[in-house]
Amino acid sequence: MKSIAIVACSNPLSLSSKESNEKLFELLRNDGRNLLISKCIYEQEDELLSSGKERADELMKFFSNPDVTDIYDISGGDMANEILDYLDFEIIRKSQAVFWGYSDLTTVINAIYSQTGKSSVLYQIKNILHGEPDSLFKPKFEIIQGQGIEGTVVGGNIRCFLKLAGTKYIPEMNGKILLIESLGGKIPQMITYLSQLRSMGVFEKINGIILGTFTEMEKENCSPDMTELVQKFVGPNMPIAKTCEIGHSRDSKAIWIGKEIEIRNE
């Protein structure tokens, strides 16, 4: 029987989230597939955290299961990159299972691509509790600089993507399309992240940039906004696309990391 799996590779979920998570699990069970759940989902009452190896072992258990088609990570936070050194990327490469996650899981998604060539989905599956959006994999884009964008998408949450800098897990950036979005952070933080990307030589290698939502900046109506900041860093010749449908909002849509994309204005 085909199965789907639930994991939490980043911060453990609070015990208070159990009720809403059970609603998600019930919804997923109604899909007609067997539901498997990691042992490392919730915080422990004694405040002990599961180790990176323990969380990685749970993830590998599902990648090793030939019946598992999709692995949904329902966590976020800070600690996902702790599991990377414990993953068996050869098993992941051979597995049919697709990994789904967002935010801090940007680290895992991009590591899977860089080490195996496999694509993963940048999306928080808990959003389906609020209604799965139409055309889940078809967010709307607007070209705001250049004639269009074409290439393989890498990236995700900008803060979390930069955790891979200097490691073997960061994707090769030549010819790629860099997707960036963020929940927190205002102008000083974004300048920090963009400065690091520039110092890494990323802007000299990529074919274009996709801007998702930048929740705190947009809430605070920061000026300059993220589009203006990016333009200052990359100049007038870098193709840039913008979407309001990829990020941390409940109605965000999904995008494949590690797959080709072509964006043109209608």
Catalytic residues, which ones? 103, 181, 248
Q: What is the dihedral of CA 249, 250, 255, 258, to 10 degrees?
A: 70
Within its chain, how far is the Cα of 108 from the centroid? 8
Is the sign of the CA dihedral 159, 156, 219, 73 positive or negative?
Answer: negative
Decide: helix, strand or coil at residue 158: helix
Closest CA to 262 of 211, 218, 222, 207: 207
Integer CA distances (angstroms), 230 to 110, 208, 224, 246, 259, in order: 22, 11, 10, 17, 23
Specify whether the CB–CB gap between 148 and 180 falls below 8 A: no
Closest CA to 229 of 198, 261, 265: 198
Phi-psi region for residue 143, left (φ > 0), alpha (ψ -120 to 50) or beta?
beta
Dist CA 172 CA 152 (whole Å):
11
Dist CA 19 CA 132 (whole Å):
19
The structure tokens 């941390």 sit at 248
Dist CA 25 CA 37 (whole Å):
9
Specify whether the CB–CB gap between 172 and 114 falls below 8 A: yes
